[in-house]
């Protein structure tokens, strides 16, 4: 995809995620919206995948360690053709193939069951190490939340990845500066995440997480570096919709009154962008 096509893809992902959450009536909008551009770049321009054959042995792997952002991943997978768009309206329904958190046994295209924060990155590191041992070209991409960095298991996995020079692994830290209970700096200050990752032995870069061109260029550079790499994404919870960016409690939202009206307005705006093929 070209950069303009990636911008359009981002708008489509955000639109389908918004529609899905409006239908459900509640959900993790904040952390889903903050990773939209990254998902757009990975699935639109970077990863080796085959939506018609989700179990293809040569595919790259993606691990959404912050599993509560599953709605954004589901929208991405549906738009890429892993399953019908109609499935999106079944989010969290009884018997759905799209549960609240990703489940690799239920959803085509999901490579790892995640949701227990801190554990997904260990899965990603294990996959990358296995590919390294077998001298296979498959790559692994993982998104970790900044609140998730409170978990000690995350740092054990990071240290293992850097020590083993897992150059086939690219970690994204979604630093949207909030977690369930408030601001990350108030709950457990992460300090300088990029510097910490560098101290752990990573090639670590910090970029704006809403710029598809910059994300793509940085991913390309990291994959060519020959070492374990980390991209710290400077994002905003609720990214792309000003009302939700500014909403204090935007981790998990039950849509009613003003928030419901704001979501419907966002859907109208995004629909117009997508229909006009002018995402920015």
pLDDT at 114: 96
Question: Measuring CA to CA, which residue among 34, 36, 16 is closest to residue 83?
Answer: 16
pLDDT at 279: 53
Question: Measuring CA to CA, which residue among 158, 92, 97, 75 is closest to residue 122?
Answer: 158
Instruction: Compute the half-sphere exposure of residue 62: CA atoms within 13 Å on the CB side of its CA.
Output: 26
The pTM for the full model equals: 0.96
pLDDT at 276: 83
Please give the chain's pLDDT, 280 residues, in tens: 999 999 999 999 999 999 999 999 999 999 999 999 999 999 999 999 999 999 999 999 999 999 999 999 999 999 999 999 999 999 999 999 999 999 999 999 999 999 899 999 999 999 999 999 999 999 999 999 999 999 999 999 999 999 999 999 999 999 999 999 999 999 999 999 999 999 999 999 999 999 999 999 999 999 999 999 999 999 999 999 999 999 999 999 999 999 999 999 999 999 999 998 655 5
What CATH number does domain 29-251 carry, 3.40.50.300, 3.40.50.970, 3.30.1330.10, 3.40.50.150?
A: 3.40.50.970
pLDDT at 41: 98
pLDDT at 178: 94
- Tens of pLDDT, residue by residue over 213-258, are 999 999 999 999 999 999 999 999 999 999 999 999 999 999 999 9
Q: Are the CB atoms for 177 and 185 separated by under 8 Å? A: yes
């Amino acid at each position: 995809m070209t950069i303009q096509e990636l911008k359009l893809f981002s708008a489509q992902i955000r639109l389908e995620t918004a529609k899905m959450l409006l239908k459900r009536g509640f959900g993790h909008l904040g952390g889903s919206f903050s990773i939209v551009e990254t998902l757009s770049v990975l699935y639109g321009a970077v990863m080796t995948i085959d939506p018609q054959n989700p179990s293809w042995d040569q595919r790259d792997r993606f691990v959404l360690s912050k599993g509560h952002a599953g709605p954004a991943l589901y929208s991405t997978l549906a738009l890429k053709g892993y399953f019908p768009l109609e499935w999106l309206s079944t989010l969290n329904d009884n018997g759905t193939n799209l549960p609240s958190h990703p489940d690799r046994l239920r959803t085509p295209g999901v490579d790892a069951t995640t949701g227990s924060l801190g554990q997904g990155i260990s899965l990603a590191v294990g996959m990358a190490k296995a590919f390294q041992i077998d001298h296979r070209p498959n790559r692994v991409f993982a998104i970790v939340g900044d609140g998730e960095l409170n978990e000690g298991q995350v740092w054990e996995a990071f240290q293992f990845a850097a020590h083993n020079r897992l150059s086939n692994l690219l970690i994204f830290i979604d630093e949207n500066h909030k977690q369930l209970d408030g601001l990350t700096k108030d709950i457990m200050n992460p300090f300088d995440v990029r510097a910490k990752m560098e101290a752990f032995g990573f090639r670590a870069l910090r970029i704006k997480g809403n710029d598809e061109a910059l994300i793509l260029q940085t991913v390309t550079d990291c994959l060519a570096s020959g070492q374990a790499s980390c991209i710290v994404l400077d994002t905003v919870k609720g990214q792309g919709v000003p009302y939700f960016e500014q909403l204090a409690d935007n981790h998990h939202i039950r849509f009613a009154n003003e928030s419901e009206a704001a979501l419907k307005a966002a859907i109208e705006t995004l629909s117009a962008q997508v229909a006009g093929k002018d995402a920015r």
